[in-house]
A and B are shown apart, each in its own frame.
Chain A
Amino acid sequence: MQTVTAPSTLADGKLHVGKHSGHDVSHKLKLRIEDLSFWYGEKQALDSISLDLYNQEVTAFIGPSGCGKSTLLRCLNRMNDEILDARMSGRIVLDGQDISNLMVDPPFLRRRFGWVAQKPNPFPRSIHYNIAYGARLHGLVRRRDETDALVQKCLERVGLWDEVKDRLYEPGTDLSGGQQQRLCVARAIATDPEVLLMDEPGSALDPIATANLEALIEELRAHYCIVIITHNMQEAARISQRAAFFHLGKLIEYGDTRDIFLNPKTELCHDYVTGRYG
């Protein structure tokens, strides 16, 4: 494939790499994906993917629709296990443990992963219930005071406590879209996960809610390994330290976000991040 050098200022002059872009070599390896392939029946969705994900970093998965980034995200917490006729080869290693092994119980594994979906999807129950449910299910809290403390801690961490502390028993679905998405992040961190998986979390939000969510992701980065799927190149450039570009199930480029956006090695990646192809 032809190698191109992108100009430091991209074609439309509008793509800005955020001040937090660029990974830190001191961050510890959290998750290693080794030669991972995945099939839906006869159709191969992922082809020999290998990459490392690090603590205290946001890694952005980017690429056109159908390139396999959502499939890969769902492989990480074994959500694809339930799909009939699907099969996977390769290894996913979390802190040295092979979690792709069928001996690993997916529900226990999923406690180590928080999930935030594209559209805010709080349970149609109270704000308090939304956060307490997972933690109670996994036995992390038992007494009422423990549960209340956990709910407050999670809401404070996502910057929602002051806004909802007087209506904890009102439905989570009554909140605004941006508040609902922050509630979903609070729900995701309530089970004390190690990795946060986010599938286009800001795509359905207005700019104020998006800016708030991005600031939250930057704060959470200190405590988690975060993987985020986004179709918004500016967002990926703003919030991630590493980026992985996928195309037709293959990992085309992976590295420092600055390099991916300002000096991509492949013409395909260059065309994608500059908006010439997508």
Chain B
Amino acid sequence: MAIYHAKMLNATRGGEAGEYPFEGPDDLFNKTSDQVVRAFFLHVDRDIFHHHVDYEINASFKSKEGDAVTAMGSLILNDQSHLPFILLISIHEPADP
């Protein structure tokens, strides 16, 4: 298992990016960008919300070097309202701002 680093930003208002390190298989970044995003949201359901929260991904893509995934989408809350986000997932530790 390896530690990956996700940062999420509110796509509507910006603000501060939330940092969410999570554990995944060593070969996670050999998989598609959608599968990387799915691994992150499994962590979110299991370890942060402790229940399933819907989401939709409008676009996701992997960097040319294959070490980072960028995704755009929305969290979908119980009342069906959407919270749009930009999500960055990397195999590298985040740099200090």
B85 in complex: contacting residue of A18, A203, A206, CB < 8 Å: A206
A205 proximity list for chain B (CB < 8 A) = 10, 15-16, 18
Q: Please indicate which of the listed interface residues A16, A206, A232 has the most CB atoms of chain B within 10 Å of its own CB.
A: A206
A207 to B80 Cα, complex, angstroms? 14
Is A211 within 8 A of B83, CB to CB?
A: yes
Is B75 within 8 A of A212, CB to CB?
A: no
Given known A-B contacts A14-B82, A207-B85, A176 and B19 have beta carbons under 8 A apart: yes
Is B79 within 8 A of A207, CB to CB?
A: no
Q: Which residues 1-17 of B sit at the A interface, judged by CB distance below 8 A? A: 8-10, 13, 15-17
A208 in complex: contacting residue of B8, B15, B78, CB < 8 Å: B8
Determine whether A255 belongs to the interface, using a CB cutoff of 8 Å to chain B.
no
Main secondary structure of the interface of B (DSSP, over half): strand
Is A211 within 8 A of B15, CB to CB?
A: no
| A contact residues, range | 20 to 34
Is A206 within 8 A of B18, CB to CB?
A: yes
A234 to B77 Cα, complex, angstroms? 11
Is A209 within 8 A of B18, CB to CB?
A: yes
Tell me, rounded to whole Å, the shortest Cβ–Cβ distance linking B23 to chain A. Answer: 15
A176 to B16 Cα, complex, angstroms? 9
B49 proximity list for chain A (CB < 8 A) = 208, 211-212
A238 in complex: contacting residue of B8, B18, B81, CB < 8 Å: B81
Given known A-B contacts A14-B82, A16-B79, A238-B77, A207 and B16 have beta carbons under 8 A apart: no
A212 to B48 Cα, complex, angstroms? 8
Is B19 within 8 A of A207, CB to CB?
A: no
Given known A-B contacts A16-B81, A205-B10, A206-B9, A211 and B75 have beta carbons under 8 A apart: yes
The closest CB in chain A to the CB of B84 belongs to A207
Tell me, rounded to whole Å, the shortest Cβ–Cβ distance linking A28 to chain B. Answer: 27
The closest CB in chain B to the CB of A179 belongs to B18
A207 to B18 Cα, complex, angstroms? 9
The closest CB in chain A to the CB of B8 belongs to A206
Is B48 within 8 A of A208, CB to CB?
A: yes
B77 in complex: contacting residue of A178, A204, A206, A211, CB < 8 Å: A211
Q: List 21 A-B contacts (CB under 8 A).
A: A16-B80, A16-B81, A176-B20, A203-B15, A206-B8, A206-B9, A206-B18, A208-B8, A208-B20, A208-B44, A208-B49, A208-B75, A208-B85, A210-B10, A211-B49, A211-B77, A211-B83, A212-B48, A212-B49, A214-B77, A238-B79
